[in-house]
Amino acid sequence: MTDTHIVTIARHIIDEERRHPEARGTFSDILTDIALAAKVISRQVNMAGLVDILGGAGRRNVQGEAVQKLDEFAQEVIYRAMDHTGYLCCMVSEELEDFIPIPDKFPAGEYVLVFDPLDGSSNIDVNVSIGTIFSVYKKITDQERGSLRDCLQPGRDQLAAGYVVYGSSTMMVYTSGSGVHGFTLDPSIGEFILSHPNIRIPAARLRPYSVNEGYALRWDPGVRKFVQHLKSGLESGEAFSSRYIGSLVADFHRTLLRGGIFLYPADANNPSGKLRLLYEASPLAMIAEAAGGRASDGRRDIVDIQPTELHQRTPLFIGSTDLVDLAESHIASAGDSDVALADDQPK
Ligand code: AHG
Ligand code: MN
Ligand code: MN
């Protein structure tokens, strides 16, 4: 008998609301609207080789990076899915320098949406998994159409966070603080169906570490010692495998499901690292913590960082708690005698 018990995102959120009466319908609608945008982006990603959507858009974004056509497309799709609903007061996108107030012609609401419309752009043209990252905050000022202050909130104040990974299948993963839930898009019915309820980062032994080792010579000594320690197999002698896709969403999704650690450290050329706090590190940090893991900038929890700029960058160490803890202890003890490192047993 075909399983007729299919749980869509909308149904799951309604079930969640029953468990958490404080969650208002509005909030559920925001997630449902994001899911719609994800379906439209997924369709375009899956046809990227066929339609004129590959390659550069001929301009650079606020980050100074060459904008890919799919970046622009994803930006527009999310903006148009969300600008008229009356739920948001403003938005923040990786692709636009300033925050985006909801236009006067539409009603404004109580929530702020921050997002990276397309993550892993450098992989678009070579058909490697890419993604979208988002999170939702409550407005904290009385500005009807939001203000910078409403956008610069620490990750701990996120109401929800999620990502979409456009890979061998399109999956949407989100948390609103009680559990992390994964939905797989069934293109035949155009619905995201609950496929990974209550994701927990496994305590598996053989867990990949994920970092771009091309920058190793530019890392701080503590980071170099940490990665060297992983390569030595820690004390169990079981060497870690290395996996690096170069799309944060794909590398994080594997870390969430398999365990291990993803790190994008600061280096001599990027003293604050490359990844952006507001719409890359903080949303994934909320998800990692809700799945029993951790996310740190090497010294403190990502979600405790008070943003001062929309596009500020941060080093990121995210995944299994014991490995993030170990990275922090290597960084803290760097420059101390090596004896200290020998005492540094995984917990
Ligand atoms: P984006 O495409 O949104 O700019 O993000 C790209 C990021 C992230 O997806 C990935 O982890 C990182 O860039 C890869 O950087 P390197 O190529 O330096 O390894
Ligand atoms: Mn990104
Ligand atoms: Mn991006």
Q: Each residue of 256-299: pLDDT tens digit?
A: 999 999 999 999 999 999 999 999 999 999 999 999 999 999 99
> Nearest bound ligand to CA 244?
1
Q: How far is the CA of 119 from the centre of ligand 1 (A)?
A: 7
Residue 177 has pLDDT above 90, yes or no: no
Q: Kind and range of the H or E element at 192?
A: strand 191-196
For the cut 90, the answer to whether the pLDDT of residue 235 exceeds it is no
pLDDT (average), residues 45-60: 74
Average per-residue pLDDT for the chain: 90
Question: How far apart (Å, rounded) are the C-alpha atoms in residues 132 and 42?
Answer: 10
Residues 230, 179: one domain?
Answer: no
Q: How confident is the model at residue 20 (pLDDT cuts 50, 70, 90)?
A: low
Residue 347 pLDDT: 35
Residue 4 in any domain: the answer is no
CATH of the domain at 94: 3.30.540.10
Question: What is the reported pTM?
Answer: 0.92
Same domain, 176 and 302: no
Query: What is residue 187's DSSP assignment?
Result: T
**pLDDT number for residue 346:** 40
pLDDT band at 21 (very low <50, low <70, confident <90, very high): low
Please give the number of the atom of ligand 1 that sits closest to the Cα of 65. 4
Q: 232 and 110: one domain?
A: no
The band of 69, judged by pLDDT with boundaries at 50, 70 and 90, is: confident
More confident of the two residues 205 and 246: 246
Last residue within a domain, chosen from 133, 163, 196? 196
Q: Give a yes or no: residue 177 inside a domain.
A: yes
What percent of the chain is predicted at pLDDT more than 90?
A: 72
Residue 189 inside a domain? The answer is yes
Residue 1 lies in a domain: no
- Report the nearest atom of ligand 1 relative to the CA of 118: 3
- Rounded to the nearest whole angstrom, what is the distance from the C-alpha of residue 233 to the centroid of ligand 2? 30
Strands 160-166 and 170-175 come out as antiparallel
Distance 248 CA to ligand 1 centre (A): 6
Structural domain total, the chain = 2
Mean pLDDT on 145-149: 97
Ligand 1 atom nearest residue 130's Cα? 9
Q: Which of 196, 214, 235 is the last residue of a domain?
A: 196
Give 128-172 as a DSSP string: --EEEEEEEEE--SS-TT--HHHH---GGG-SEEEEEEESSSEEE
104 and 218 in a common domain = no
- Confidence band for 124, pLDDT divided at 50, 70 and 90: confident
Q: Is 16 in the pocket of ligand 1 (CB under 6 A)?
A: no
Q: Taking residues 307-313, report their average pLDDT.
A: 98
Q: Is residue 2 part of a domain?
A: no
Q: pLDDT (tens digit, 9 = 90+) per residue, 206-226?
A: 789 999 999 999 999 999 999
Displacement of CA 213 from its chain's centroid (Å): 21
Mark which of 142, 170, 196 sits at the end of a domain.
196
- Please give the share of the chain, as a percent, with pLDDT higher than 70: 91
Q: In the predicted model, what is the mean pLDDT of residues 52-57?
A: 72
Inter-residue contact 176 to 162 (CB < 8 Å): no
Tell whether 172 and 263 lie within a shared domain.
no
Q: What is the pLDDT of residue 24?
A: 56
Residues 41, 184: one domain? yes
φ/ψ region of 45 (left if φ > 0, alpha if ψ in -120 to 50, else beta) reads alpha
Query: 294-296 and 261-264: which strand pairing?
Result: unpaired
With 70 as the cut, is the pLDDT of residue 16 above it? yes
Q: What is the pLDDT of residue 236?
A: 73
CATH number of the domain bearing residue 271? 3.40.190.80
CB of 119 sitting under 6 A from ligand 1: yes
Q: Is the CB of 116 under 6 A from ligand 1?
A: yes
**Are 14 and 124 members of one domain?**
yes
Q: Which ligand is nearest to the CA of 63?
A: 1
Q: Give nearest CA residue, ligand 1 atom 7.
A: 120
At 125 the pLDDT is: 84
pLDDT 10s digits, 101-122:
999 999 999 999 999 999 998 8
Q: Tell whether 122 is covered by a domain.
A: yes
Q: Are residues 68 and 167 in the same domain?
A: yes
Among the listed ranges 151-155, 232-236, 305-309, which one has the minimum average pLDDT value? Answer: 232-236
Q: Which domain holds residue 224?
A: 206-344
What pLDDT score was predicted for residue 134? 98
Residues 163 and 298 grouped into a single domain: no
Q: Worst-scoring range by mean pLDDT, 173-177, 184-188, 342-346? A: 342-346
| Predicted local distance difference test score (pLDDT) of residue 341 | 35
Tokens of 85: 């609903």
For ligand 1, say whether the CB of 246 is within 6 Å of any of its atoms.
Answer: yes
> Which of the listed residues 96, 213, 275, 279 should we mutate to test ligand 1's pocket, taking the one with most ligand atoms within 8 A of CB?
275
Q: Is residue 201 part of a domain?
A: no
| 313 is a domain residue | yes
